[in-house]
Chain A
């Protein structure tokens, strides 16, 4: 590629991702969006023989809610890998997720009003 741009910030993570996920297919954005919030469920423990990445996710998510995008960025792991590991932990009941609004065609005016008022308060 001759075009300088965002796509040059590549971390060459393909083999790394493949090893971490055991070659499984990565879940799609429909399953766990970038802004879905996750945290460790109360009175839950790490699965037996966790991978280092699962341990890292567990430790990070023990402190409170973070979005899937934040977990990925804070740990320096690709989003697809984080999605897969989070999906496992959620399925096992070890992590809680907070639902994000459904991907409606037209955003709800009441929600937009809340966003507007929130921004006005914040930057007043």
Chain B
């Protein structure tokens, strides 16, 4: 099936849709969140601005930030119509600790999170896992890996990221629709297991 938006009327959600749900695609900067969303979305990925108050603590630069400060962050997202009455939104959510207010908004009502990890920058994924766990989101790890032979094994990744035994790990190529869909399906199966 090809749902790519070509004509203007394609931008709209089908009229029979009564339920909208969201899943977060999370990960550090430039890990491939928007690439994965673009591989799956029926519309070209969109970007929206959310204004928020920046947390005054735990900033990851050396200068520190005096008290509260307003900042604007771009959220990239995509859409998948899943049957007659259901639509799924995928929101790329930046993993920096200073976007805590954003996380509060994004986590509310989310079904779960797909954590994209770059095997060559695993330490950048630690703070993202902290955020996911802080907001009580269920998640699966998708290792964005173009050439898995040269990377870690699943066991090595599990150990490096200190994952719980039930947290799924899947290797994927965020540029590839099939591969990205498999990662998303792994997450949803996991969510279903945890909810049942």
- A residues neighboring B (CB under 8 Å): 1-7, 9-14, 17, 26, 29, 33-37, 63-67, 69-70, 72-74, 78-80, 98, 100-109, 111-123
Contact = CB atoms under 8 A, between A and B. Distances in A.
A20 to B, nearest CB: 13
A33 B109 contact: yes
Interface range, B side: 35 or more
Contacts of B149: none
A90 B54 CA distance: 30
A114 B20 contact: no
B49 A109 contact: no
B191 A72 contact: no
Contact of B79 (A10, A12, A70): A70
A37 B15 CA distance: 10
Given A9-B74, A37-B17, A107-B191, A115 B12 contact: no
Nearest to A100: B20
Interface of B: 1, 8-9, 11-15, 17-22, 29, 46-51, 60-61, 63, 70-75, 77, 79-80, 82-83, 86-89, 91, 94, 96, 99, 105, 108-109, 111-112, 136, 177-178, 181, 184-185, 188-189, 191-192, 195-196
A65 B17 contact: yes
B75 A69 contact: yes
B74 A64 contact: no
Contact of A121 (B83, B96, B184): B83
